[in-house]
Amino acid sequence: MRPILVTGATGFLGRHLVEHLKRTETLSTIRVLCRGASTFDQDSAVEVVRGDVTESRDVDRAMEGAGYVYHLAGFVSRDPRDAERLMRAHVEGTRNVCESSIKHRVERVVVVSSSGTIAVSKQPVVHDEQAGYKNDIVGRWPYYLSKIFQEKLAFWFHQNKDLPVVVVNPALLLGPGDDRGSSTGDIRLFLEGQILSMPLGGVNFIDARDAAEATASAMRLGRVGQRYLLGGPNWTCRKLVRELSEIAAVRPPIFEMGLGGARFGAKMLRWIKPGFQLDDATIEMSAHFWYCNSAKAEAELGLKVRDPQATLTETIDDIRRRSRPSV
């Protein structure tokens, strides 16, 4: 069996995906492309290739002999100053992976994007895979904009170079194992008491372990040239906060204010309270609705999602283990 290459294996979803592949792909070598030292260096079941996805020579070395590629490499940031880095990581990295996949004649590439490319609106609308890109909404959020360009590039390689590409679009990833806090950071802010007013929007979330299994299924069962939304429940932010409050035994916010008031309050607190981290982008995003319908992934990939309360409980427990005792 030709090796399976995973980029972005040290991330939240990537680590769960590698663990899943180790259990299910016992006849294949699992190879990961990592920039620096990682826990995989001591894992005899994983072959590590050192390099950066934005460097074509590194990608070529990692791709040598590979038959299947999961492309997850990138990073999450809501800071507009990271726009150039995000574009380089997600767009140039994807270009390198696609070009190298053609060169080495891989059998299939699964590109992991985000539900936020198509499933976000100012009203509580539930989106499916036919929804168009939301450039008008996410244009000021460079992370999602870079993921839109990433998807367009991957589909271009499918349409024009016959590269067998499948795209998966996970919703907000929760659950244990988010070492960097890139996805569960807002839950940590709530536990620390930094969410001072009730968010007005809505959210869709999925356990990272369930998303990892569906991502692996996309390699075998996904239709090339297609995208698959991977999500769980569509909840208002109010419902999410109340569920978190009950599980964590933390008092929920008692105030409800518009976007302008929330921004002003956060600005004042950042000025007078050192360590206050709630930023304007996070506040604005929480006023939107990130609802999606994952029926296609359920039908074609066998997506199954666990009880959302169980995911929230494990998320809270994991954050508390990693954080200071007061959280």
Q: Per-residue confidence of the chain (327 residues) as pLDDT tens digits?
A: 899 999 999 999 999 999 999 999 988 999 999 998 899 999 999 999 999 999 999 999 999 999 999 999 999 998 999 999 999 999 999 999 999 999 999 999 999 999 999 999 999 999 999 999 999 999 989 999 999 999 999 999 999 999 999 999 999 999 999 999 999 999 998 998 888 778 889 999 999 999 999 999 999 999 999 999 999 999 999 999 999 999 999 988 876 655 655 554 555 555 555 665 667 778 888 889 999 999 999 999 999 999 999 999 999 999 999 886 556
What's the pLDDT at 1? Answer: 82
Expressed in percent and rounded to 5, the helix, strand and coil fractions of the chain are: 45, 15, 40
Which secondary structure element, helix H or strand E, spans residue 7, and what is its range?
strand 4-7
Query: Helix, strand or coil for residue 156?
Result: helix
Residues 6+ apart with CB under 8 A from 105: none
Give the full edge-to-edge strand order of the sheet including 108-112. 46-50, 30-34, 4-7, 68-71, 108-112, 165-170, 227-230
**Continuous segment of H or E residues that includes residue 108:** strand 108-112
Partnered with residue 204 across adjacent β-strands are: 234
Q: State the Cα–Cα distance between residues 230 and 211, nearest whole angstrom.
A: 6
**pLDDT recorded at residue 321:** 93
Q: Which two tokens stand for residue 154?
A: 């991957």
Two tokens, residue 125: 């609308």
**How far apart (Å, rounded) are the C-alpha atoms in residues 35 and 227?**
28
Homologous superfamily of domain range 4-177+204-234+293-306: NAD(P)-binding Rossmann-like Domain (3.40.50.720)
DSSP string, 194-253: ---B---SEEEEEEHHHHHHHHHHHHHHPPTT-EEEE---EEEHHHHHHHHHHHHT-PPP
Mind listing the pLDDT tens digit for each residue in 48-92?
999 999 999 999 999 999 999 999 999 999 899 999 999 999 999
Task: State both tokens at 135.
Answer: 């450039």
Give the model's pLDDT for residue 198: 83
pLDDT at residue number 265: 55
